[in-house]
Amino acid sequence: MRRRIIHVDMDEFFAAVEKLDRPELRGKCLLVGGHPDKRGVVSTASYEARAFGCHSAMPMARAVKLCPQAVVLPVRPNRYHEISRRLFALLESFTPQIEPLSIDEALLDVTGCERLFGPAEAMARQIKVAIVAEMGLTASVGVAPNTFLAKLASDLDKPDGLTVIEESTVQAVLDPLEVRKLWGVGPRAAEALERVNIRTIGQLRLASPDLLRQAVGDAGEHLQRLAAGLDDRPVTPDSQARSIGQEVTFATDMGDMATLSGVLLGQVEQVARRLRRHRLKARTVSLKLRYGDFTTLTRSTTLAAGTDVTAELWAAADGLFAAWRAAGQRPLRLLGVTASQLSGRRGQQLPLFADEDKARQGRLDRAMDEIAERFGSGAVKRAAARRREDSQT
């Protein structure tokens, strides 16, 4: 049976929710994020603001200079998570094979669901109509034979688009596109490829392996497979995963260590919550760091016993982050954390003597989970510990 994958990506999500709640903002330039006078960063720019060059992860002060007429709004994470929960509940009515990629996007494996909902394209249209009807928002959707192509397809016709890539049209769609459309090709990798006269996906697909290795190192082989439309990664729901992770790719390389630490803490909280939701514990914590030149580092540590306690996972991740900083820091294009060596709570040997601190942390986690379920994960947050070296920079 041929695979049919759908990628659902909400349009300008934070800005769209603000327009939903305040209709008078429709048609205006919106910047959602931190305060421009406090080193704030843009979380989402509306499409109107993007026309002026504004984008996510950009310093808010710079975005305001590019678009001085923009309305600047603070992030309301509890409201966004409320909408996100409704989105994923809606998607689960079509298939249980859902892999969350972020708060506002997901991959759905709908292979074999045609008997219930019709062909994948018809299913994608039903999803779009349901999102408008139930939430008053729009999504861009891609349908394709694999995860990479589905994600790329959803980005080809934004906003409110629907793009279908069939097996017979893969190269016709891919070849003319800029190499930056490939997963993992950022500005620096694109510049490196351009120096060897590779500007399109078609040119990359036909390039010699030696030339690609010269331009982007070991990543060349992987990129050439993507350029040929090849991607065998499965859609993996959390309950079936061998690992659970969160990562973010910044629009521009991020060098502010306090911001990176805050992003990492948020990722750890999300991973821990997903572990607890599926009654899993993890023994290994891994940090993924990618520079602008596509160089990727992975740092891991293994705990004495599996855990789903946020504080323990954060201590492990923060320790890896501190070690990376001490070895010499560089701005990052991507930051992520993954929990692996997963096991269910059943079958784990209980300690002979109870750890009161761990029990207290467990109660804290459960309380925060309840608050997050009711009010959104942004309703209450941990603060990343301020390291001594932070105060000296």
At 184-214, the pLDDT tens digits run 787 788 899 999 999 999 999 999 999 999 9
At residue 41, φ and ψ (nearest 5 deg) are -125, 145
Q: Are residues 315 and 221 in the same domain?
A: no
At residue 70 the predicted structure's pLDDT band, cuts being 50, 70 and 90, is: very high
pLDDT band at 366 (very low <50, low <70, confident <90, very high): low
Q: With contact defined as beta carbons under 8 Å apart, do 175 and 165 qualify?
A: no
Beta-bridged to residue 328, according to DSSP, are none
- Choosing from 39, 54, 76, the residue where a domain stops is 76
Please state, rounded to an integer, the average pLDDT across all residues of the chain.
Answer: 86
181 shares its domain with 304 = no
Q: Which residue has the higher pLDDT, 129 or 96?
A: 129
249's CB contacts (< 8 A; 6+ apart) are 186, 290, 333, 334
Q: Which of 76, 94, 128 is the last residue of a domain?
A: 76
Share of the chain above pLDDT 70, in %: 87
Q: How confident is the model at residue 112 (pLDDT cuts 50, 70, 90)?
A: confident
Q: Which amino acid is at 311?
A: A
pLDDT tens digits along 23-65: 999 999 999 988 887 777 888 999 999 999 999 878 899 999 9
**Same domain flag for 72 and 206:** no
> What CATH number did the domain enclosing 64 receive?
3.40.1170.60
Convert 337-362 to b/e letters by CB count within 10 Å (16 or more is b): bbbbebeeeeeeeeeeeeeeeeeebb
- Taking only the tens place, the pLDDT of each residue in 237-265 is 866 778 888 888 776 788 888 888 888 99
Neighbours of 168 (CB within 10 A): 7
pLDDT of 375 over the 70 cut: no
The verdict on 222 and 332 lying in the same domain is no
Number of domains composing the chain:
3
- 197 shares its domain with 285: no
Examine the domain organization and report whether 249 and 198 are in the same domain. Answer: no
| 46 in any annotated domain | yes
For residues 320 and 369, state if they share a domain: yes
Task: Answer yes or no: do 218 and 302 share one domain.
Answer: no
User: Do 215 and 254 reside in the same domain of the chain?
Assistant: no
In a domain, 126, yes or no: no
Instruction: Residue count of the chain, please give it.
Output: 393
pTM value is 0.70
What's the CATH number where 309 sits?
3.30.1490.100
Q: Residue 393 domain-assigned?
A: no
The helix/strand count (H/E) of the chain reads as 15, 12
| Structural contact between residues 134 and 90, judged by C-beta atoms closer than 8 angstroms | yes
Contacting residues for 4 by C-beta, under 8 A, at least 6 apart: 109, 110, 111, 113, 114, 120, 143, 145
How far is CA 71 from each of CA 19, 31, 39, 310, rounded to the nearest angstrom? 11, 6, 17, 36
Side-chain-side CA neighbours of residue 334 (13 Å): 21
Domain boundary among 39, 60, 76: 76
Residue 325, domain member (yes or no): yes
Q: Helix, strand, or coil here: 191?
A: helix
- d(C-alpha 76, C-alpha 32), whole Å: 9
Whether residues 356 and 262 fall in one domain: yes
CA angle 174, 12, 33 (to 5 degrees): 125
260 and 183 housed in the same domain: no
Q: Domain span at residue 201?
A: 171-227
Candidates 12, 18, 48, 105; catalytic one? 105
Query: For residue 33, is it left (φ>0), alpha (ψ between -120 and 50) or beta?
Result: left
As a whole number of angstroms, the distance between CA 181 and CA 390 comes to 36
The SS3 of residue 283 is strand
115 part of a folded domain: no
Residues 218 and 308 in one domain: no
The SS3 assignment for 30 reads: strand
**Measured between alpha carbons, how far is 26 from 301 in angstroms, rounded to an integer?**
47
Residue 105 bears catalytic tag:
yes
Q: Does residue 90 lie in a domain region?
A: no
Can you tell me the mean pLDDT for 302-306?
93
The answer to the question of residue 62 being in a domain is: yes
Strand order of the β-sheet with 98-102 is: 98-102, 105-109, 5-10, 139-144, 162-164
With the C-alpha atoms ordered 175, 181, 184, 185, is the resulting torsion angle positive or negative?
A: positive
The answer to whether 363 and 310 have CB atoms below 8 angstroms apart is no
Per-residue pLDDT tens over the stretch 151-173: 999 999 999 999 999 999 999 99
Q: What share of the chain is helix, strand, coil (3-state, %, to 5)?
A: 45, 20, 30
- Check which CATH number belongs to the domain holding 214 and give it: 1.10.150.20
Please report whether residue 86 resides in a domain. no
**Residue 251, pLDDT score:** 66
Cβ atoms of 17 and 56 within 8 Å: the answer is no
Structure tokens at 78: 């509890």
